[in-house]
Structure 1
Amino acid sequence: MKLTIHGAARQVTGSMHLLQVDKYKILVDCGLDYEKDHNIQMNEDFPFDPVEIDLVILTHAHIDHSGNLPTLVRLGFEGQILCTPPTADLTELLLMDSVSIFMRKAQKKGKRGKSKFNSGGQPLYLQKHVMDTVERFVTIGFNRPFRVNGDIELTFIPVGHLLGAAAAVLKINDNGTEKSIAFTGDIGRKNYPVLNDPESLPQVDYLVTESTYGGRFHSKGKSVEETLVEVIEKACIKEQGRMIIPAFSIGRTQSLVFALNKIFSSGLLPPVKVFVDSPMASMATGIYRKYHNLVNQEAQDFYKNQGDEFEFDNLTYVETLKDSRQVSNYFEPCIIISSAGMLEGGRIQDHLFYNIQNYYCTILFIGYCAKGTLGHRLLRGDSIVHIKDRDLAVYATIKQTDVLSAHGDHEDLTNVVHQQDKTKNKSVFLVHGETESMQALADSLEFDEYKVVIPEKGISYEL
């Protein structure tokens, strides 16, 4: 059995791990690498032949885990893609949105006679390739062992982070020897709005775990609602300004809307107009309603006692581009929730374009921003940023909170590893994290006497 980390090796995005059992090749996740400065051609240059991949296992829908699947299919992959039912539905939404973003950027670059896409100046993939990909989805429920073939069994374990997100646990007969390996995908955190807490993983021989927040700890002491009340009260009540919250349409927006619902329905703040400016967020919310049996008990109880957790007075889901532009002309205090969370495309760029130089605007980041993104540049304090072909001075107030981060912190990550008996676990592989985060987590685990590997990209490990 051989493991090769082809993506998210000593970086966060582009998760892609190849597990080879004899001649059978399994690809765990196939995400877009956003840290290649959007040189899309680099994303289509797979370090293996897609035709030779027998199976794909998808841990969850986020684009840094799913976003390169249509490319894999376009270049010859013909196998099944195994995932949970919510992951299949949410991934289809995200991939269709990626096509729209690719098309807009291809047209934009084409006008300049230069493209950062593939050699023909075309998008990485088209709607047809997304539909071809969706046809390959085979969905499996949580905690239901699935026999891949005579030698391999797969079980999805809930890990929070996103509706449908799962760790992939594989039991393998490797030439007569029983082996086990788990891929955590992205690990959630406890007491997160809407989502259930991550479940414990079984004992495995090898663990491949994310390390995004290695060495970092989430803020403690204030709840999600308390933190939001404090920021909203200053930005929208006292200063009578507007607050823009970049949020991923799938996952983060639903948790944020539920938190705001609890705040306003309980009277913690006077009413403030809230715009959710993302058609994809509206569609994703429909999927959350579809799989309402998978949301946490708090959300289910809220629904029974007070109604839809994703609807409340003064909340408007903005659908059309025309209505989105009218939001910019709404001069009363308001909260604008728009995608994408790292500011790389989407309607959020329009709102930033018109508000980045507004002294009475607060931009609140509620999630991770990868290096190279506009969000990362704002968070590091750049005084001038490039938006929609213009260099704009930053006069708006930039704030960040981690209370709505869907990633577990250092303590959460170590707790996942500590579920493993260190005398039985043979190696812990760290992926999906910046080098400093990986090293901090590795140091902590090695102190606890776990065998830790920080894999290099493309290096194979015999298991």
Structure 2
Amino acid sequence: MKLTVWGAAQQVTGSMHLLQITGYTILIDCGLDYEKGTYQEENQYFPFNPAEVDVVILTHAHIDHSGNLPTLVRMGFEGQILCTAPTADLSELLLLDSVNIFLSKLHKNARSKRGRQGPKPLYLQKDVMETVDRFVSISFHKPFKINGSIAVTFIPVGHLLGAAAVVLSVTENGRTQEIGFTGDIGRKGYPVLIDPHPLPPLDYLVCESTYGGRFHSKEATLQETLIKTINESCIKSPGRLIIPAFSIGRTQALVFALNQIFSKGLLPPVQIFVDSPLANYATDVYRKYHNLVNEEAKEFYQLKGDEFEFDNLTYVHDKKESISVSNYLEPCIIISSAGMLEGGRIQDHLYHNIQNYYCTILFIGYCAKGTLGDRLLRGDPIVRLRNRDLMVYASIKKTDLLSGHGDHFDLMNTVTHQDKQRLKKIFLVHGELKSMNALASAIADVGYEVGIPAKGESIEL
């Protein structure tokens, strides 16, 4: 049995791991690699023949794990894609949204280059729908036989609705081995989502390392942070609070946290707008799979009703409504995508408010280097929007309390749950090299063997 790490190797995005067993090939995740400069062109080339992959196993819906599946299908993959039911539904939303982003970039490049087209879309809607037809939904904790010698089990890990670690039981040459892939590990006590479940005893573990060497702040709770920020932005002064948020996962967690605050009367009422069509659709998926949310959310539902609906909360649907939000003159909270400010309706709200002294922009997620969000966070005094240079007079704030990733402690907890006598080796993926080295050092210190594979490196298991 041979494992080859083809993505998220010494970097965060592009998760893609090939497991070759005698006569059978499994691909775990097939994500977009955002660290390639012209990712629409470069992601279409696979270092293996897609037609030779027998089955894909998808850990969760985020684009850096699912976003290149339609390309795989377009280039010859004919097998099934195994995942949980929420992952299937959320992946469809995100993949269709990716098509819109590709087409938007194509049209934008055509306009800016006077008719010269930029990169062709990586895939189109028909490719997405063909991909969706291949999804096969598997329940948590129920082993699913792929063939006579291979079974897969999905273990809940929080992070996103439906997100799972994958445990493969492989019998080869009369010997059975258990190989685990963590996907992305969530954090304990996260709004709406369940805590990560421990993994069963394994022989090998492929582990994410996003927050290796880093710890989430514990100076204040999420509720305390939101109350303080809203009070300063919208109540003490007649301003507005703009929160860039990823449409799937982050927005639902934030809305539930706000619902808890206002339903308890911890703040006077403030109008809240959720301005993201994708977030609206994703919230319906969260409602559909309400049996998979955490106990806190279920109890809230029993006592007060829908976690994602409350007085003074408005879901914005069309562009006309979005424009009316920009013209709303009372203090308000605007939640909009995209989280890194690299597109979406959030840019309209920024354009109208970046020079507003009474506006606060609160970042609740990661912003990749070079993005507009990153430039604001590093303190750039001028940003460019709609071909205009605008002075930054709005207050810029950040919290990591809504990060969906477990920190160094959570990662170590996942590792140390394993039996040292049985676990032969841990392979770290999905993290910047600095984070990987920090986590690798901590893992080695407690007596486990650990490695950091390079891209394309193959390991005999």
Structure 2 unaligned spans of 5+: none
Q: Are residue 63 (structure 1) and residue 63 (structure 2) matched?
A: yes
For residues 25 and 376 of structure 1, the distance between their equivalents in structure 2, rounded to whole angstroms, comes to 39
Selected match of 2:307 from 309, 332, 353:
309
Report sequence identity in percent.
69
**TM alignment of 1:350-369, pairs within 5 A:** 350-369=348-367
Alpha-carbon shift at residue 376 of structure 1 (Å): 2.4
For residues 174 and 6 of structure 2, the distance between their equivalents in structure 1, rounded to whole angstroms, comes to 27
For residues 238 and 266 of structure 2, the distance between their equivalents in structure 1, rounded to whole angstroms, comes to 17
**TM alignment of 1:205-216, pairs within 5 A:** 205-216=203-214
Alpha-carbon shift at residue 453 of structure 1 (Å): 0.9
What is the TM-score when the length of structure 2 is the normalising length?
A: 0.97
Selected match of 1:375 from 350, 373, 376:
373
Structure 1 unaligned spans of 5+: none
SS in 1 for 2:35: helix
Q: What is aligned with 1:153?
A: 151
**TM alignment of 1:48-447, pairs within 5 A:** 48-111=48-111, 112=113, 113-117=115-119, 122-447=120-445
For residues 376 and 62 of structure 1, the distance between their equivalents in structure 2, rounded to whole angstroms, comes to 20
Deviations 1:109-158 (A, max 9, x none): 122145552xxxx2111110000000000000000000011111100000
Q: How many residue pairs align between the two structures?
A: 459
More deviation in 266-275 or 233-242? 233-242
Alpha-carbon shift at residue 280 of structure 1 (Å): 1.1
Alpha-carbon shift at residue 375 of structure 1 (Å): 2.0
For residues 214 and 123 of structure 1, the distance between their equivalents in structure 2, rounded to whole angstroms, comes to 34
Give the counterpart letter for 1:141 in structure 2.
S
Deviations 1:205-260 (A, max 9, x none): 11111111111111114221111101111111122211111111111111100000
More deviation in 153-162 or 99-108? 99-108
TM-aligned CA distance change 1:416 to 1:231, over 3 Å: same
TM-aligned CA distance change 1:390 to 1:180, over 3 Å: farther
Deviations 1:167-216 (A, max 9, x none): 00001012222111111111011111101111000111111111111111
SS in 1 for 2:360: strand
Give the counterpart letter for 1:340 in structure 2.
A
More deviation in 149-158 or 324-333? 324-333
Alpha-carbon shift at residue 448 of structure 1 (Å): 0.8
Give the counterpart letter for 1:84 in structure 2.
T
Alpha-carbon shift at residue 11 of structure 1 (Å): 1.1
Q: Is the 8 A contact 2:213 2:408 kept in 1?
A: yes
Give the counterpart letter for 1:215 in structure 2.
G
For residues 150 and 430 of structure 1, the distance between their equivalents in structure 2, rounded to whole angstroms, comes to 29
Q: What is aligned with 2:13?
A: 13
Alpha-carbon shift at residue 22 of structure 1 (Å): 1.9
Q: Is the 8 A contact 1:99 1:125 kept in 2?
A: yes
For residues 35 and 356 of structure 1, the distance between their equivalents in structure 2, rounded to whole angstroms, comes to 28
The CA RMSD over aligned residues, in Å, is: 1.3
Alpha-carbon shift at residue 362 of structure 1 (Å): 1.1
Alpha-carbon shift at residue 431 of structure 1 (Å): 0.9
Give the counterpart letter for 2:304 in structure 1.
Q
TM-aligned CA distance change 1:116 to 1:442, over 3 Å: farther
Deviations 1:264-292 (A, max 9, x none): 11111111110000111111111111111
For residues 346 and 240 of structure 1, the distance between their equivalents in structure 2, rounded to whole angstroms, comes to 26
Give the counterpart letter for 2:107 in structure 1.
Q
More deviation in 373-382 or 274-283? 373-382
Alpha-carbon shift at residue 381 of structure 1 (Å): 2.6
For residues 449 and 114 of structure 1, the distance between their equivalents in structure 2, rounded to whole angstroms, comes to 57
SS in 2 for 1:180: strand
SS in 2 for 1:170: strand
More deviation in 452-461 or 37-46? 37-46
Alpha-carbon shift at residue 384 of structure 1 (Å): 3.0
TM-aligned CA distance change 1:213 to 1:114, over 3 Å: farther
Alpha-carbon shift at residue 84 of structure 1 (Å): 0.1
Give every structure 1 segment of 4 or more consecutive aligned residues whose post-TM-superposition deviation is greater than 6 Å. Answer: none
Q: What is aligned with 2:36?
A: 36
SS in 2 for 1:27: strand
Deviations 1:331-361 (A, max 9, x none): 2111110112222221112212222222221
What is the TM-score when the length of structure 1 is the normalising length?
A: 0.97
Q: Is the 8 A contact 2:7 2:13 kept in 1?
A: yes
Alpha-carbon shift at residue 50 of structure 1 (Å): 1.1
